[in-house]
Amino acid sequence: MLGMMMQSQLTLTEVMRHANANFPNSEIISVTADNPRHRYRYREAFARTAQLANALQKLGAEPGDRIATLAWNDYRHFELYYATSCSGLVCHTINPRLFPEQIAYIINHAEDRWLFIDPMFVPLLEALADQLTTVKGYVVLTDSDHMPVTDLPNAHCYEELLALEPENFDWPLLDEGTAAALCYTSGTTGNPKGVLYSHRAMVLHTYGVLMPDVFALQQDEAVLPVVPMFHVNAWAVPYAVPAVGAKLVFPGPKMGCGETLSNLIREEGVTIAAGVPTVWLALLKHLREHDQTVPSLNRVVVGGSACPWSVMEEFEQKHGVYTHHAWGMTEMSPLGTYNARVPADLPAEEARARRLKQGRAAFGVEMRIVDEQGQPPPHDGQAFGALQVRGPWICERYFKAEESALTSDGWFDTGDVATIDPQGYLGITDRTKDVIKSGGEWISSIELENFAMTQEGIAEAAVIGVSHERWAERPLLVVVAAPGAALDTRAIIRAFEGHVAKWWIPDDCILVEELPHTATGKISKKDLRQQLAEYRWPEETPA
Ligand code: ADP
């Protein structure tokens, strides 16, 4: 027997309609290259979104066309998110920090039709334009006063295009399975792969993000996404915030600038901010050096890589800000797990250990760990396994792939190795390709890095496996000193004693000026391994 309820389609158009109808006066604030503090309200944002949808139609965009963006977090990018997806086009966000050849590969693979680019990226595209075989033209995200002189073929000025159009658009009724957005993984191994998000997945993921034990957004809040809109839908913030009618605060090109973040938080009354650990290091440094605090800020969401305890501690002790650790990936839209507030009466050591984990699965995500024999290891927080997931906002196959990306029994293998504890908390121990196998046993590089980061004077730390005659591989710790700190590498190693299993203690520690990073700001272990290919263990390494 079938239920007898309305068959409404779950589309982003409904998010836009809801926001426009119920919260026309909510604000969107942006830092852009042409305005240090642009402000307008939802009413205007969605009127301009309609103008943009008309302009796209005039440019000849057809349903399913991929419209690419190389843009920062700001109001024009926000308008693009909705104008493309809600008119049946696909919003293809591109990470401008990728290597130019990867950007060209991605644009050609996606067969993008139009490119909407921040003025800052005009030279980058000018150098690539000859190789882009499917692109019909370019729209520069600025007004006529700031429009750069460019030899890009068929280049338009965004504000000039919009000015010609009416403020309403006949939004099509889309099937919820229609593709809404496209994002490529960073391609740390091989070519980047495209994840093609549907409207349904985006709407369900938005509900998932909004849950009380996840972002728990409310209409009187102000939200600062420091996570880029060019990567994984800025963790759904541009959808979730309008869904509840809160204020959006976009940092534009100043995402890594502690001063801008501090000013935005304090002046716009930001209550919640989301981003990768490195941006918080920059903010905390700025606050420390300028003796500032951020009274309106209530919580920070940290994901993308493991969050060091020092970040959580400083936020809480100096600023009364609670840090939530979250885990996810491009293929998961990205939300997987979220570490909700732990009970206030939990003993300090236990609370710390729990908060360093990646949290519990959000409703909508199912997860399991599998050992090398395909068996489930116990959920005891100790035994490792390959982490697999399934759910309605998880990728089934990559864009243009003929084969499913799933295991034969329908799970997506995340490429992460993890533990699950009896309370259901996920602990990511490594990427599969970064796992260190010593004498047949796995050592968690993330756990070693977490401990290294608790030591005074260490700004960044990475642990990689280096081949070893007797044990196959042993852990090598590589650290970057904080400004002005003098590090004693032997003392750093000794400090591990009593904090991790004896056989996990790194055999050596070396100091480097800097660590290589990926386009999404993570430490690139692949590049680090290459850089240290000539490294040999010191003679006295105990056998
Ligand atoms: P890319 O590295 O291509 O940008 P994603 O942004 O999809 O890819 O990154 C996903 C990966 O990042 C996860 O599979 C995991 O290895 C790592 N990651 C994400 N969040 C966390 C976290 N909180 N702790 C540890 N690792 C994380």
103-134: burial string, b at 16+ Cβ within 10 Å, e else: bbbbbebbebbbbbbbbbbbeebbebbeebee
Say whether pLDDT at 416 is over 80. Answer: yes
pLDDT tens, position by position, 151-188: 999 999 999 999 999 999 999 999 999 999 999 997 66
Helix-helix angle 12-22:237-244, to 10 degrees = 40
The finding on whether 306 has its CB within 6 A of some atom of ligand 1 is yes
What confidence score (pLDDT) does residue 294 get?
98
Q: What's the rounded mean pLDDT across residues 392-409?
A: 97
Say whether pLDDT at 492 is over 90. Answer: yes
Return the H-helix or E-strand segment holding 117.
strand 114-117
- Pocket probe mutation, ligand 1, options 95, 279, 305, max atoms within 8 Å of Cβ: 305
pLDDT tens, position by position, 217-233: 999 999 999 999 999 99
Distance between CA atoms of 379 and 423, rounded to whole angstroms? 9
The finding on whether 339 has its CB within 6 A of some atom of ligand 1 is no
Cα of 398 from ligand 1 centre, angstroms = 17
Q: What's the rounded mean pLDDT across residues 89-118?
A: 96
Say whether pLDDT at 259 is over 60. Answer: yes
Catalytic hit among 165, 331, 447, 460: 331
Structure confidence at residue 189 as a pLDDT band (50, 70, 90) = low
The finding on whether 387 has its CB within 6 A of some atom of ligand 1 is no
Domain edges within the chain:
9-26+41-198, 435-540
Q: Which has the closest alpha carbon to 426: 337, 312, 334, 328?
A: 337
Cα of 265 from ligand 1 centre, angstroms = 26
Catalytic hit among 13, 185, 323, 337: 185
**Edge-to-edge strands, sheet with 412-420:** 366-370, 385-390, 412-420, 426-431
Atom of ligand 1 minimally distant from the CA of 430: 16
The finding on whether 414 has its CB within 6 A of some atom of ligand 1 is yes
Distance between CA atoms of 385 and 148, rounded to whole angstroms? 52
The finding on whether 185 has its CB within 6 A of some atom of ligand 1 is yes
Question: Nearest residue CA, atom 10 of ligand 1?
Answer: 329
Which SS3 state, helix, strand or coil, does residue 191 take?
coil
Backbone angles phi and psi of 135, in degrees to 5: -75, 125
Atom of ligand 1 minimally distant from the CA of 522: 2
Residue, of 271 and 98, whose pLDDT is higher: 271
Structure confidence at residue 542 as a pLDDT band (50, 70, 90) = low
- Pocket probe mutation, ligand 1, options 331, 337, 365, 428, max atoms within 8 Å of Cβ: 428
Catalytic hit among 136, 442, 473, 489: 442
Question: Nearest residue CA, atom 13 of ligand 1?
Answer: 329
234 and 227 in contact (C-beta within 8 Å)?
yes
What confidence score (pLDDT) does residue 128 get?
98
Atom of ligand 1 minimally distant from the CA of 428: 25
Cα of 227 from ligand 1 centre, angstroms = 13
What confidence score (pLDDT) does residue 442 get?
85
DSSP string, 87-103: TT-EEEE--TTS-HHHH
Q: State the pairing for strand pair 114-117/137-140.
A: parallel
Structure confidence at residue 414 as a pLDDT band (50, 70, 90) = very high
The finding on whether 304 has its CB within 6 A of some atom of ligand 1 is yes
Distance between CA atoms of 341 and 96, rounded to whole angstroms? 35
Say whether pLDDT at 90 is over 90. Answer: yes
Helix-helix angle 348-356:309-319, to 10 degrees = 120
Catalytic hit among 58, 318, 433, 437: 437
Q: What's the rounded mean pLDDT across residues 463-489?
A: 93
Return the percentage of the chain with pLDDT > 70, whole number. 99
Residue, of 442 and 10, whose pLDDT is higher: 10
The finding on whether 337 has its CB within 6 A of some atom of ligand 1 is no
Distance between CA atoms of 206 and 299, rounded to whole angstroms? 19
- In sequence order, which residues have a C-beta less than 8 Å from that of residue 120 and are 6 or more positions away? 33, 253
- The CATH homologous superfamily to which domain 435-540 belongs is ANL, C-terminal domain (3.30.300.30)
The finding on whether 428 has its CB within 6 A of some atom of ligand 1 is yes
* 280 belongs to the catalytic site: no
Count Cβ atoms within 10 A of the Cβ of residue 516 and give its class: 0-12 exposed, 13-18 middle, 19 or more buried.
middle
* 469 belongs to the catalytic site: no
Q: State the pairing for strand pair 66-70/412-420.
A: unpaired
Q: How many CB atoms lie within 10 A of CB 74?
A: 24
Neighbouring-strand partners of residue 431: 416
57 and 277 in contact (C-beta within 8 Å)?
no
Cα of 99 from ligand 1 centre, angstroms = 19
The finding on whether 325 has its CB within 6 A of some atom of ligand 1 is yes
Q: What's the rounded mean pLDDT across residues 86-114?
A: 96
Say whether pLDDT at 543 is over 80. Answer: no
Atom of ligand 1 minimally distant from the CA of 188: 3
Distance between CA atoms of 122 and 152, rounded to whole angstroms? 8
What confidence score (pLDDT) does residue 295 get?
97
The finding on whether 233 has its CB within 6 A of some atom of ligand 1 is no
348 and 367 in contact (C-beta within 8 Å)?
no
CA 21 distance to own-chain centroid: 30
Atom of ligand 1 minimally distant from the CA of 415: 14
Cα of 356 from ligand 1 centre, angstroms = 15
Q: What would the two tokens of residue 309 be?
A: 């305890």
Cα of 238 from ligand 1 centre, angstroms = 20
CATH number assigned to the domain covering 9-26+41-198 = 3.40.50.12780
The finding on whether 357 has its CB within 6 A of some atom of ligand 1 is no
Q: State the pairing for strand pair 426-431/114-117.
A: unpaired
* 437 belongs to the catalytic site: yes
29 and 247 in contact (C-beta within 8 Å)?
yes
Sign of CA dihedral 81, 269, 307, 336: negative
The finding on whether 310 has its CB within 6 A of some atom of ligand 1 is no
Atom of ligand 1 minimally distant from the CA of 232: 6
What confidence score (pLDDT) does residue 230 get?
96
Average pLDDT, the chain: 95
pLDDT tens, position by position, 316-333: 999 999 999 999 999 999
Cα of 389 from ligand 1 centre, angstroms = 14
What confidence score (pLDDT) does residue 34 get?
85
Count Cβ atoms within 10 A of the Cβ of residue 539 and give its class: 0-12 exposed, 13-18 middle, 19 or more buried.
exposed
Q: What's the rounded mean pLDDT across residues 303-314?
A: 92
